[in-house]
Amino acid sequence: MSQKLFFTLLAVSFAASGVAHYAGMNATVQFILSCIAIVFVAGFLGKATESVAHYAGERLGGFLNATFGNAAELIIAIILIKDAVNGKPMLFDMVKASITGSIIGNMLLVLGLSLLLGGLKFKTQRFNVTLAGHNASLMLLAVIALFIPAVFAVQLPEAKTNTLSLIVAVILIIAYFLWLLFSMVTHKKELSDEIVEHGEAAWSRGVSIVMLVVATAMVALVSEWLVGTLEEFSHKFGLSELFLGAFVIAIIGNAAEHSAAVMMAMKNKVGAAVEIAIGSSLQIALFVAPLLVIISFFMGNTMNIVFTTYELVAIAVAASIAKSISGDGQTNWYEGVLLLVVYIILGVAFFFV
């Protein structure tokens, strides 16, 4: 597809979806238009990320993409928390379900598709094995930090559970910033991939960054429009709120990571794909989720960090298989299949509950 045609379709689909949303059109129309739009804005974000990654190196590019990709999820969650504080406490459960869905969606669906499609093209793909080891340890920290409050909260009164949640949240955010210090400053070199890139960038350095920001904003907007239509659909198809939050919303909210990661993997830059998928999961678990706990506290009604058994099992399962597969710094199509298989099994189980 030529550049010109792509940007025309991007503009048209985005505008149509926006008009449908703000004019309050029929939900089915809104749904279809926003689905079409998300394909193009996600493709745009993929292009922009790739261009930035050209200048920034694979890993910083991947980090930027993960961050911009999670901005949308953060915004949606804050809106839900605002409503939860103002008298709809069950929305806290929806926030946690979407956090769960985001973590497992990135680790299993995004990474799985990337490894499968990348692996069909390239027999074996390689990335920095030291980074893989650190990612695994951080994933484990995330799982531990979510499990411990759940285990101990069973016998604690609500006030203590909230205090425990806040303390754990603060500790996790500190750990996350120290990780950024470690991976971007003190040990930047040890964690970077050795592959030298010779691709061409679509734009200059400055324009690439602007494009990345614009693309992220567009993805966030379209995601929100799409999410707005979901409730009606879930009732039509009889989907539970847990399934809706953990699978439907999460898949759409991660469209940006999807397109970017898959595109990277298909260009044999599997290090960037892993960074986007795992990095995004880690950011959700170690930064976004704790931040939401703290924000809810300042809004006057603390959301605790206690997830349901189903959610904890899903996160633990996703982290362990992703750790096992990414541990050797080598990937192939079958490892993508394994991740997708676990995602499908989880999806079926959540659907039935």
CB half-sphere exposure, 76, CA atoms < 13 A: 29
φ/ψ of 304, rounded to 5, equals -75, 170
Binding its own copies (rule: CB under 8 A), the pick from 37, 215, 242, 346 is 346
CB 241 within 8 A of CB 97: yes
**CB of 348 vs its own copies, minimal distance in Å:** 5
**CB of 147 vs its own copies, minimal distance in Å:** 7
Q: Is 163 one of the binding residues for its own copies (CB under 8 A)?
A: yes
- The smaller minimum CB distance to its own copies, of residues 15 and 174, is found at 174
**CB of 157 vs its own copies, minimal distance in Å:** 10
Distance CA 75, CA 179 (A): 23
Question: DSSP E strands: which ranges in 84-163?
Answer: 125-126
Q: Is 136 one of the binding residues for its own copies (CB under 8 A)?
A: yes
Distance CA 180, CA 336 (A): 28
Among the residue ranges 72-80, 218-226, 267-275, 345-353, the one whose residues contact its own copies (CB under 8 A): 345-353
The contact mask relative to its own copies for 190-229 (x = CB under 8 A, - = no) is: x---------------------------------------
Size of the site for its own copies (CB under 8 A): 61
Length of the chain: 353
- The smaller minimum CB distance to its own copies, of residues 120 and 210, is found at 120
- 271-to-80, 132, 177, 267, 339 alpha-carbon distances in Å: 34, 9, 22, 11, 17
Q: Calculate the dihedral angle through the C-alpha atoms of 39, 43, 49, 54, rounding to the nearest 10 degrees.
A: 160
**CB of 327 vs its own copies, minimal distance in Å:** 7
Binding its own copies (rule: CB under 8 A), the pick from 3, 123, 194, 200 is 123
- The smaller minimum CB distance to its own copies, of residues 174 and 207, is found at 174
Task: Residue 350: name the closest of 69, 38, 74, 108 by CA.
Answer: 108
CB 102 within 8 A of CB 254: yes
**Across-strand partners of 125?**
331
Q: Is 317 one of the binding residues for its own copies (CB under 8 A)?
A: yes
- The smaller minimum CB distance to its own copies, of residues 7 and 351, is found at 351
Q: At what angle do helices 205-228 and 3-22 cross, to 10 degrees?
A: 40
- The smaller minimum CB distance to its own copies, of residues 202 and 338, is found at 338
Would you tell me how many other CB atoms lie within 10 Å of the CB of residue 253?
25
Q: Is 109 one of the binding residues for its own copies (CB under 8 A)?
A: no
List interacting residues with its own copies (CB under 8 A). Answer: 123-124, 130, 133-134, 136-138, 140-141, 144-145, 147-149, 151-152, 155-156, 160, 163-164, 167-168, 171-172, 174-175, 178-179, 182, 186-187, 190, 309-310, 313, 317, 320-321, 323-325, 327-328, 330, 332-335, 337-338, 341-342, 344-346, 348-349, 352-353
